[in-house]
Amino acid sequence: MVSYIFRRTLMAIPLLLGITILSFVIIKAAPGGPVSMLMDPTLKPSDREKFEEKYGLNDPVHIQYFKWLGNMVKGDFGNSLIKRGVPVSELIMNRLPNTLLLMLVSTFLAAIIAIPFGIYSAMRPYSKLDYTVTVGSFLGVATPNFWFGLMLIMFFSVNLGWFPTGGVATLNAPFSIWDRIHHLILPAIVLALADMAALTRYTRSSMLDVLKQDYIRTAMSKGFKEKKVVLKHGLRNGMIPIVTLFGLMLPSFIGGAAITEKIFSWPGIGSLFIDSAFQRDYPVIMALTVVSAIFVVIGNLLADILYAIFDPRIEY
Amino acid sequence: MAQSNIEISQEELQLNPNLKEKPDTLTRIFFRKFFKNKLAVTGSVILFIIIISAVFAPLIAPYSFEQQNLIDKLKPPSSEYWLGTDRYGRDIFTRLLYGGQISLLVGFASVVGALIIGVSVGALAGYYGGIIDAMLMRFVDIVISIPSFFLLITVVTIFKPSVGNLILIFALTTWTNTARLVRGEFLTLRSREFVLASKTIGTKAYKIIFSHILPNAMGPIIVSATLLIGNVILAEAALSYFGLGIQPPTPSWGNMLYDAQNYTVMLSAPWYPFFPGLLILLTVLSFNFIGDGLRDALDPKSID
């Protein structure tokens, strides 16, 4: 097991390097790119040269890459082009807690609703409730989250005034838990929707597989209560593939979080990313692309390792 | 000799009267399974209506999509304007019809592009294996690790968001799942007897790939392509909603929502943001229903 974890972690390193190379190439391919953002177009050619010299733009491409990579490993992502002089890492660290809070709450929300529905659907496949749950999860996946968010804001915030239209807390108000929760409810619902749908379907199919197995039938025929068999004997094995699902869902989850954050003006890294894209703040865009990809790689790594721990049938 | 095998004896007929009917072909089984699936049929009907109305938009639309009637701005749905008007007094129904053209065009064309790239990469990796496979698949791993929405936005900020560029960008960012899928299919199919037989008689590699293996892998490819169209339509709408996709005055469902996310609009004309989103939802839902139905219908193991 230890050697598996070690090998699996080693495999993540070339992947991470590849991600940095790809991000670097994409930004380098940008016509004009970051340089034209910083440079005053009326610069004299001689000043332009000095400028390029100062920022290392005359170095060969691979040298530029290694410099960038070296700095990034040290946690230095450079400075923002728009907010002059503010380090990108500071921008990210300021907003990261908000994103993590939103993600944790919505994942929790999705799980406590989706898993029971998935289990019940698997217990009574092709029943009315199963059918309703299936159609419901189709709807959840197909609903554009930006539109769903917009509709919630329109009805509950603008027309009914029950919830704030955005932000993490009331401006200039003293800290209060209730105020924070009040701001969190709508974005958490929007972000949870699509995951809830995916999670329900996976739980259902995974539980269906498990409930067909002989040991479940044996337990049932021994006269145990159905509820006990499903929840105690079935769920343990049925939940194993769900662990990997969290790893797989992470990339779309991060994207969904960005959209949700933007709609609710939630000051997290997702809205930072979209704002930076508008302003072509390339250092921030690059840093966030790399950071989010690192999250994904680590998430998948954890999911694989957890899978290996939970499922003793698999040998490595 | 073959004749005698096909003939059904009188005895057999009495035991199983169904044998009198025409023998099942794969196509017949496919259609029977597909049409049994209520959701898939519902999806097909909705999608058919949406496609027809988008294609014939110039004939159906009561107004032109650019025509502004500033006196009639933000009118509620009425017999004059079926689904109301927007902030410039343009007919929402008309703009939805034309917006459908763009959304569907981007969806279909991007997926064709993604299929070309994905199938080529997957086929090469799966057929040849070894170092080619390792290199191509590591590249796929890299692209998949970057959240696709982030990748999309990064690339969109670099290129100008025209319809053609958007199609190219979607094709370049969404081919990875197809590649993985095709590779998997090729890995299992390439060691099957009929492929080995073709190799032994000296059939050229491209012919084995395209005329022997690929047709056998079409089922899963069609299913994933159908689901992908839905995802691309969602992503295009999201980009346009943020003003990064299709640019006005060309209507797209996404940029209509972009125009509608305005405090006064939300307070006084809630139908305006409602309808474009509803159409996106219905279209994506239909593609997902159809994809799911195709999955069951194309799966030889599923119960008929």
Q: What is the pLDDT of residues B44-68, one digit of tens each?
A: 999 999 999 988 878 877 777 777 7
Cβ A255–B156 below 8 Å, yes or no?
no
pLDDT: which is higher, B245 or B234: B234
- Using a CB-CB distance cutoff of 8 angstroms, which residues of chain B are in contact with residue A26? 154-155, 158
Q: How close are the terminal C-alpha atoms of chain A, in Å?
A: 7
Mean pLDDT within A31-57: 67
- Per-residue pLDDT at A188: 93
- Which of A53-62, A237-246, B200-209, B247-256 is predicted least confidently? A53-62
Average pLDDT over residues A207-214: 85
Q: Does the pLDDT at position B276 exceed 70? A: yes
Band of the pLDDT at A32, cuts 50, 70, 90? low
HEC string of B171-224 equals HHHHCHHHHHHHHHHHHHHCCCHHHHHHHHCCCCHHHHHHHHHHHHHHHHHHHH
B267: nearest CB among A27, A142, A158: A158
Closest Cα in chain A, distance from residue B225 (Å): 16
Residue B3 has pLDDT above 50, yes or no: no
The answer to whether B142 contacts chain A (CB < 8 Å) is yes
Contact (Cβ atoms closer than 8 angstroms) between residue A192 and residue A109: yes
Residue B259: the pLDDT is 83
A297 in contact with B, Cβ within 8 Å: yes
pLDDT number for residue A300: 86
What pLDDT score was predicted for residue B2? Answer: 43
Cβ separation B146–A255 shorter than 8 A: no
Instruction: Say yes or no: A204 contacts chain B, CB-CB below 8 A.
Output: no
Mean pLDDT of B70-95: 75
| Furthest C-alpha separation in chain A | 89
Look up tokens 């037989």; give the residue: B197
Q: What is the pLDDT of residues B285-303, one digit of tens each?
A: 999 999 988 988 887 776 6
Residues of A in contact with B146 (CB under 8 A): 19, 22-23, 251, 289, 292-293, 296
How does DSSP classify residue A127?
S
Could you say which of A23, A31, A147 has the minimum Cβ distance to residue B277? A147
Report the pLDDT averaged over residues B3-24.
59
Maximum CA extent, chain B: 83
Distance from the B246 Cα atom to the nearest Cα atom in chain A, whole angstroms: 15
Contacts of B301 in chain A (CB under 8 A): none
| A158 in B contact zone (CB under 8 Å) | yes
Summarised one tens digit per residue, pLDDT across range A145-185 is 999 998 998 888 888 888 888 887 777 777 778 888 888 88
A-B contacts at Cβ under 8 angstroms = 141
The first and second tokens of residue B57, run together, are 């938009």
CB distance from A208 to chain B under 8 Å? no
Higher per-residue pLDDT: B266 or B278:
B278
Question: Does the predicted interface ipTM exceed a cut of 0.90?
Answer: no
- Residue A166, min C-alpha distance to chain B (Å): 13
Q: Which of A158, A241, A166 is nearest to A203 (CA)?
A: A241
User: In this predicted structure, which of A88-102, A180-194, B12-26, B283-297 has the lowest mean pLDDT?
Assistant: B12-26
More confident residue, A35 or B220: B220
* Cα A270 to Cα A144: distance, rounded to the nearest angstrom: 17
Residues with Cβ < 8 Å from A144, sequence gap 6 or more? B234, B237, B238, B241, B277, B280, B281, B284
Q: Which residue in this structure is represented by tokens 């509620």?
A: B76
User: Does residue B269 or residue A268 have the better pLDDT?
Assistant: A268
Residue B157 has pLDDT above 90, yes or no: no
Q: Do A19 and B153 make contact, defined as CB atoms within 8 angstroms?
A: no
The pLDDT of residue B169 is above 70: yes
- Given a cut of 50, whether residue A24 has pLDDT beyond it is yes
CB contact under 8 A, A15 and B138: yes
Counting Cα atoms < 13 Å in the Cβ hemisphere of A301 gives 19
Q: Write down the pTM of the prediction.
A: 0.85
Band of residue B171 on the pLDDT scale cut at 50, 70, 90: very high
Question: Reduced to 3 states, what is the DSSP secondary structure of residue A87?
Answer: strand
Element (H, E) at B263: helix B263-268
The answer to whether A144 contacts B244, with C-beta atoms less than 8 Å apart, is no
Measured in whole angstroms, how far is the alpha carbon of residue A153 from the centre of its chain? 22
Are A19 and B273 an interchain contact pair (Cβ–Cβ within 8 Å)?
A: no
* Residue of A189, A166, A151 whose CA lies nearest to A262: A166
User: Residue B291: closest CA among chain A residues belongs to which residue?
Assistant: A138
Q: Does A17 touch chain B (CB under 8 A)?
A: no
Q: Which chain B residue shows the shortest CA-CA distance from A17? A: B142
From A179, A188, A230, A189, select the one nearest A207 (Cα to Cα): A230
Chain Cα centroid distance, residue A67: 28
Report which of residues A174 and B170 the model is more confident about. Answer: B170
Q: Identity (one letter) of the amino acid at B294?
A: L
Instruction: Work out the number of other CB atoms within 10 angstroms of the CB of residue B284.
Output: 26
pLDDT attached to residue A186: 92
- Could you tell me which residues come within 8 angstroms of residue B70 by beta carbon, excluding any fewer than 6 positions away? B88, B89
| pLDDT, position A53 | 72
Mean of the per-residue pLDDT values of chain A: 84
pLDDT surpassing 80 at residue B15: no
Q: Contact at 8 Å (CB) between A199 and A115?
A: yes
Determine the Cα–Cα distance for residues A256 and A195; give it in Å rounded to an integer: 9
Out of A73-77, B3-7, B143-147, B186-190, which region has the weakest mean confidence (pLDDT)?
B3-7
What is the chain B residue with the closest CA to A282? B154
Confidence of residue A279 (pLDDT cuts 50, 70, 90): confident
* Inter-chain residue contact A18 with B147, CB threshold 8 Å: no
The residues, any chain, with a CB within 8 Å of residue B15's CB and separated by 6 or more, are none
Contact indicator for B244, B151 with CB cutoff of 8 Å:
no
Identify the CA nearest to B245 among candidates B150, B153, B149. B153
pLDDT of the residue at B13:
58
* Chain B residue whose CA is closest to A270: B150
How far apart are the CA of A138 and the nearest CA of chain B, in angstroms? Answer: 7
Q: How far apart are CA B257 and CA B192, in angstroms?
A: 51
B222 forms beta bridges with: none
- For residue A232, which of A214, A211, A263 has the smallest C-alpha distance? A211
- CA gap A122, A204 in Å, rounded: 5
User: Chain B: nearest CA to A276, how far in angstroms?
Assistant: 10
Give B4's pLDDT tier (boundaries 50, 70, 90).
very low
> Does A139 contact B at CB distance below 8 Å?
yes
Between residues A307 and B83, the one the model is more confident about: A307
CA–CA separation, A38 and A81 (whole Å): 7
- Show the tokens assigned to A16: 């991470």
Q: Output the pLDDT for position B271.
A: 82
By C-alpha distance, the chain A residue nearest B284 is A142
Q: How far is it, in rounded angstroms, from Cα A305 to Cα A240? A: 12
* B128 reaches A (C-beta below 8 A): no
What mean pLDDT comes out for the span A51-67?
76
- Cross-chain residue pair A273–B150, CB shorter than 8 Å: yes
B150 closest CB neighbour out of A14, A150, A288: A288
Q: Which of B42, B28, B32 is CA-nearest to residue B303? A: B32
Across A94-108, A233-247, B240-254, least confident range: A233-247
Least Cα distance to B65 among B43, B45, B89, B33 occurs for B89
